[in-house]
Chain A
Amino acid sequence: MSFNATRPTLLAAPGVAWLVALMVVPCLLVLSYAFFERGVWGGVEYTFTLENFARVADPLYAKIFLNSARIALTATVVAILIAYPAAYAISRAPRMSQPILLFFAVLPFWSNYLIRTYAWIVLLNREGLINNLLRSLGYTGEPLSMLYTESAVITGLVYNYLPFVILAIYSTLSRLNPELMEASRDLGAGPVRTFLRVTLPLTLPGVAAGGVFVFVLSIGNFVTPALLGGGRFQMVGNLVYDQFLTANDWPFGAALGAALILTMIVLLLLQARATAHASGERKGEAAQ
C-alpha cells in the first residue's frame, strides 16, 4: 500500500483539530461552568460549587426532567408502534420496490424540521384543517383546541422522528434470515408465536436504535414544545434555552446540559450492549 504510516494521521489532522477545538473543548468548557457560581450580572463567578447539580435534583426541576422523560417516552413508544408495522410492510414488499418505499419513508426527515412542525400548526389550529373538516361533516360544537396541548407536542415529535425509526427497524428486518421464520413455522409455531419468539427478538437492536434516537432527541427538544405546546410545556430543552438566553444563569444551564448528555450516553451504552447481546446470541445460534 502506498500510504505510509504518517500519511493517515496527516490527512485526518485538520478534521480532528476542528472537532477537538470546536466541539470537545467547548463541551468541556460549558461542563466546567456547571461547577462554578453564577455571577451577579449573569456571568460566571469562579468559585467552586456543586449547587448547580443539587438544583437539577431540586423537586421543581426534577419534575420538569421527569415530565420531559415521560413525554419523550410516550413519543418513543408511539413512534415504534407505528414504525414497526411500516418497516415490516416495506420488508415484505417486492424486492424492487423496497428501496423506493424506504426512500420516500425517509424523505420527510431531510426536510426542514421547523416546516414539518409548522405543518401541524396548520392542521391542529382552531381555525385549522381538522376543525374545518369536522365542521363540514356536521360537527357544530366549539372548535376543538388541539394545538398547545401535550398531545400536540407528542404528535409533532412522533411525526418528525418516525422516518428514522422506520429506517432503523427496516435495516434489522431486511438482514433477517427468512429460514429462521420458516423453521419456526415448520416446527409448528403459528404466525403470532413465530413473530413474538423469533422475528421480534431478532429485530430488537433496530427497535432499540430507533427508540434511543427518538428519546434522546425528544427529551432535549425545545422547538416542538415551544411551537406546538405554546410554551405551556416546559421541557429540559426549553429550560436549558431559558438559562442561557433569558434567565442568564449559565452555570445552572450547563448543569442541565450535563444531565442531558449523561442521559444520552447512558442510553447509547445500553443500546450498544443490547445490540452486542443480540448479535452474540445470533453467533451462538450459528455455532449450534
Chain B
Amino acid sequence: MNATLSSKLPGRIVLLLVFGFLYLPIAVLVLLSFNASGLPTSWSGFSTRWYGALLSNTDILRAAGNTFIVAVFATVISTVLGTLLALGMETRRRKSNGLEALAFAPMVIPDIVLAVALLTFFSRLGLTMGLHTIVISHVIFDLAFVCSVVRARLKHFDFSIVEASRDLGASGWTTFWRVTFPVLLPSIVAGALLAFTLSVDEFIIAFFTAGAGRSSITLPMQIYSMIRFGITPEVNALATIVMGVSATALLISQWLNRQQQVP
C-alpha cells in the first residue's frame, strides 16, 4: 500500500504544480474581473460593475460585432471548403505529397509571415482592406483545421456503405446527403466550432489585413490596444467573457468528436 502511494506522490505533485502554473494566471484574471475596485492591490468586494462598463463601451461593442461578423463568414466558407477538401483528399486513389503539404502549411506557417504576405498581396491588387479581407484571410487557416478534423473522421469511415447505397439504386447526390453527410456531421460541426474559435481569437493576421479605418477593428485588436499600456479593469471582464465563450465552444467541439468515436 505504502509503496504505491509513494510512487504516485511525485506524479501528483508534478501535476498540481503544472496545472497551477497553467490555471492560476487565468483564475486571478477572472477573480479580478469581479473585484469592485478593479485593482489587483486589494479585494474590495464582489461586483459586476466592470461587466456593466463593458456594455456601455461603444468601441468594445463595435469590435465585438465586427469579430462576430468575421467569424461567422469565415466559419461558413471554411466549413464548406474544408469539408470538400477533406472528402477530395480521402477519396483520392494516390496520396499526393504536394496536396498534403498545402493542407498542412496553414497550420504551421508563422502568422506574421502569412500576415505580411497577405498585406503585400492585397495592396499589390489595390484592394481596399476591411472586414472582407480579414474574412478571406481567416478562411485560409480555418479551412485547414476543418479539413484535418473531417479527415480524421473519414479515416474511420467505412466506404462500403456508400457502395451499398449506390448498389441499392441511390444516386450520388442522394447517397451523399443520406449516407455520407449524416456520418460526417458531428466532425463537420466540431471543425466549424474550432474554426469559429480560431477566428474569434486571431489577432496578427486581422491586424495586418484590416486596413486603416477604425471601422474594421476586431475584438483582439481592441484588446491589444487596451493592454499595451497596462491594466484596465474592463479588460479583465472582457477577458473573462472571451475565455468563457472559447472554452464553451471547445467543450462542445470535443464532446462531438468524442461522440463519434463510439459509433
Q: Which A residues contact B (CB, under 8 angstroms)?
A: 1-3, 5, 7-16, 18-20, 22-27, 29-30, 33, 82, 85-86, 88-90, 92-93, 101, 103-105, 107-108, 110-123, 125, 127-129, 132, 159, 162-163, 166, 216-217, 220-223, 226-227, 237, 240-241, 244-245, 250, 253-254, 257, 260-261, 264, 268
Contact A261/B19 with A86-B14, A244-B119 known, Cβ cut-off 8 Å: no
For B87, give the chain A residue with the smallest CB separation.
A11
For B179, give the chain A residue with the smallest CB separation.
A2
Which residues of A lie under 8 Å from residue B235 when comparing CB positions?
Answer: 118
Contact A129/B28 with A22-B136, A103-B254 known, Cβ cut-off 8 Å: yes
Interface presence of B102 (CB below 8 A): yes
Name the segment of B46-54, B56-64, B184-192, B196-204 touching the other chain.
B196-204
Interface presence of B182 (CB below 8 A): no
- Chain B interface SS verdict (over half): helix
Docked complex Cα distance between A176 and B10 (Å): 21
Which residues of A lie under 8 Å from residue B88 when comparing CB positions?
Answer: 7-13, 15
- Asked if A115 and B223 sit within 8 Å, CB to CB, the answer is yes
Interface size on B, residues (CB 8 A): 84
Interface presence of B114 (CB below 8 A): yes
Which residues of B lie under 8 Å from residue A114 when comparing CB positions?
Answer: 203, 220, 223-224, 227
- Asked if A115 and B113 sit within 8 Å, CB to CB, the answer is no
Which residues of B lie under 8 Å from residue A120 when comparing CB positions?
Answer: 25
Contact A26/B117 with A113-B203, A121-B227 known, Cβ cut-off 8 Å: yes
- Asked if B28 and A119 sit within 8 Å, CB to CB, the answer is yes
Contact A257/B112 with A16-B99, A114-B224 known, Cβ cut-off 8 Å: yes
- Asked if B143 and A268 sit within 8 Å, CB to CB, the answer is no
- Asked if B91 and A11 sit within 8 Å, CB to CB, the answer is yes
Q: How far is the CB of B212 from chain A (nearest CB, A)?
A: 11
- Asked if B227 and A227 sit within 8 Å, CB to CB, the answer is yes
| A-B contacts, 11 listed (Cβ < 8 Å) | A2-B162, A8-B89, A12-B85, A12-B88, A85-B18, A88-B11, A93-B15, A112-B242, A118-B227, A162-B21, A240-B113
Q: Which B residues contact A (CB, under 8 angstroms)?
A: 10-12, 14-15, 18-19, 21-23, 25-26, 28-29, 32, 39-41, 80-82, 84-85, 87-89, 91-93, 99, 102-103, 105-106, 108-114, 116-121, 124, 136-137, 139-140, 143-144, 147, 159, 162-163, 165-166, 172, 175, 197, 200-201, 203-204, 208, 220, 223-224, 227-228, 230-231, 235-236, 239, 242-243, 246-247, 250, 254
Which residues of A lie under 8 Å from residue B21 when comparing CB positions?
Answer: 82, 159, 162
Not counting A8-B87, A16-B85, A129-B40, a sample of 16 additional A-B residue pairs whose C-beta atoms are within 8 angstroms of each other reads A11-B88, A14-B85, A15-B81, A15-B147, A19-B103, A22-B118, A22-B136, A27-B114, A30-B113, A108-B23, A112-B243, A122-B29, A220-B111, A220-B112, A223-B204, A240-B112
